[in-house]
Amino acid sequence: MEKLIHDIIDNYQNLKYSLLKAQTFNQDHFGFPPVYYKIMETDQVRVDAYKSAFLKYDNLKDKIVCEAGVGTLALTQHFLPYVKKAYLIENNPNLSDFIREKLDENGWADKVEFIVGDAMKIELPEPVDFLVGELMSIFCANEYQVQIFKHLRQFLKPDGKMFPDKIINLAQLCYAHFEDNHKHYPLMFTRHQPEELSQNEIINIIDLRQEEELTIDREVEFTPLLSGTINAVYIRSYVQITEGINFTGTDSLMPPTVVKLDAPAEVKAGSPVRLRAVFSYGTSLDQASFQVV
Ligand SMILES: C[S@@+](CC[C@H](N)C(=O)[O-])C[C@H]1O[C@@H](n2cnc3c(N)ncnc32)[C@H](O)[C@@H]1O
């Protein structure tokens, strides 16, 4: 055990950008490297949040469900034994054999329609009671959660539920160290946490039942608690899976992330400043802009 801790300490700096590499959704290879699936599957906090949401609705017993981006079935396996019918969508072809085998092994294949394709384009043949998806990334900047639910919600019954249904994006003014040309990094170890100079303020709230906007351009006022130089924002996304069941970020999903400002600025404790945040869902934080105006 002591050796393991030594190894971690020796590699703190090497690992600073490793989560970023693992979690960046890459169109070219239809998704993520295998290590990211392992990070997600082993994250009990993330999986339990979805399990609690399923449990709140009787594990979706006898319901018709559509899940987009099923990955390695880490969430799916917790409702599939109980549902009447499931439409499971995944566009990473490298996972198809694994998913088909799992469905056969567990005797679920008969009630599942497995669709290999882009969830933003799929047409469902009937209305569904539940729409499930975990295609989230911090601020929804990298993945297509917003676009996918915007498309699939047309197939949700009027009293149907979607998991998640709300995402709140927050930011703090901060100072951080960035190496090489990096513009942002998700936090794996608290020692990479930036110096925080303000409280969290809300940048925007995404109501997935009715969100239409895909590019966000907001100005938000911050009153610094401390004087000093800011060169970054420390961002978080709070997720409401369903009312009363929340997920506020771990290293596997929506990790608190540090993003460079367009230019550093001096702030004074108690003197308000305005931050302009511009970003588009399903692109990259590399293209986002945060600046003091
Ligand atoms: C963040 S992973 C989550 C996987 C799984 N739901 C879980 O919670 O462990 C998102 C998954 O959605 C898939 N995906 C991303 N965009 C998609 C799209 N447009 N259509 C279908 N699947 C997509 C990715 O390949 C990936 O497997």
CATH code, domain with 62? 3.40.50.150
| Residue 201 burial (C-beta neighbours within 10 Å; 0-12, 13-18, 19+) | middle
How far does CA 180 lie from the centroid of its chain? 25
pTM above 0.85, yes or no: yes
Its domain, for residue 264, covers 166-292
DSSP-based helix, strand, coil % in the chain, nearest 5: 30, 35, 35
Q: Are residues 147 and 47 in the same domain?
A: yes
Residue 265 forms beta bridges with which residues? 230
Residue spans of the chain under pLDDT 50: none
Please, which residues have CB within 8 angstroms of residue 182's CB and are 6 or more apart in sequence?
Answer: 17, 20
Q: What is the pLDDT of residue 138?
A: 96
Please, which residues have CB within 8 angstroms of residue 95's CB and are 6 or more apart in sequence?
Answer: 31, 71, 72
Q: Report which protein residue has its CA nearest ligand 1's atom 19.
A: 118
| Domain tally, the chain | 2
CB 165 within 8 A of CB 207: yes
Q: Are residues 159 and 239 in the same domain?
A: no
Q: Report which protein residue has its CA nearest ligand 1's atom 27.
A: 71
Find the residues whose C-beta lies inside 6 A of ligand 1. 30-31, 40, 68-71, 74-75, 89-92, 118-120, 134-135, 144, 148
Q: Is residue 197 part of a domain?
A: yes
> What's the gap in Å between 70 CA and the centre of ligand 1?
6
